[in-house]
Chain A
Amino acid sequence: NAGVTQTPKFQVLKTGQSMTLQCAQDMNHNSMYWYRQDPGMGLRLIYYSASEGTTDKGEVPNGYNVSRLNKREFSLRLESAAPSQTSVYFCASSGGSGQPQHFGDGTRLSIL
């Protein structure tokens, strides 16, 4: 059972480069989320998609964009990477707002 799959697992970028993090879920969930996790700060919500066709900003959206490509896929794009965006990024999905979330294994992103 795949659950939530994130690619890539690791990435190193130079300041100013762009990249897209991919996420797919096979649980037929309506809602999908992107978080970043930094030491001592828990999980902070970047963007979420409550249902196919909708996206909304979370707590820390600046510097990011998202696309809900279809019900399964939710991508996160960094248009011009900055060192402050060095973090571990997690994608999650759930049946709806407030319901338990299922997480991928994360993308470890370093920006030099």
Chain B
Amino acid sequence: TQLLEQSPQFLSIQEGENLTVYCNSSSVFSSLQWYRQEPGEGPVLLVTVVTGGEVKKLKRLTFQFGDARKDSSLHITAAQPGDTGLYLCAGGRPARQLTFGSGTQLTVLP
């Protein structure tokens, strides 16, 4: 059982559609990071959220940290083919290493 569950595991949508992916846990995290990984490359950090209820925007991407700091969501508006990739969340806890979720594989079709 994964400490961080991501859903959906796979998502295929048309260009211009909106989507939300989720990262859920029964544990409380001090921070939550989102990464995007493209084929043949390593994950690249998109954002870090640290406060319960925090919302951060990165162009068409909106990240939210749950009030209880157990879950997070990533919303993409008007998805583009360049958004295609594996989206990974990672939770940080004091004196522990990051825990990664299993990821959401997003495909945006032109």
Whether the pair A104, B96 counts as a contact (CB closer than 8 A) is no
Whether the pair A98, B96 counts as a contact (CB closer than 8 A) is yes
Interface string of B1-44 (1 = CB under 8 A from A): 01000100100000000000000000000110100000011111
Whether the pair B96, A97 counts as a contact (CB closer than 8 A) is yes
Nearest-CB residue, chain A, relative to B47: A100
A and B contact pairs by CB, cutoff 8 A, 22 listed: A4-B42, A40-B102, A42-B88, A42-B101, A42-B102, A44-B100, A90-B43, A92-B42, A97-B92, A97-B95, A98-B31, A98-B94, A98-B97, A98-B98, A100-B45, A101-B43, A101-B90, A102-B45, A103-B42, A105-B41, A105-B42, A106-B40
A41 to B105, CA, bound (A): 12
Determine the interface band of chain A, counting residues with CB < 8 A from chain B. 20 to 34
A106 to B94, CA, bound (A): 27
Query: Is there a chain B Cβ closer than 8 Å to A58's Cβ?
Result: yes
Interface string of A8-49 (1 = CB under 8 A from B): 000000000000000000000000010100001111110010
Query: Is there a chain A Cβ closer than 8 Å to B103's Cβ?
Result: yes
A45 to B100, CA, bound (A): 9
A92 to B77, CA, bound (A): 30
For the complex with contacts A42-B88, A101-B98, 9 further pairs of A-B residues with Cβ separation under 8 Å are A35-B100, A98-B30, A98-B31, A98-B92, A101-B45, A101-B90, A103-B43, A104-B42, A106-B40
Nearest-CB residue, chain A, relative to B48: A100
Nearest-CB residue, chain A, relative to B42: A103
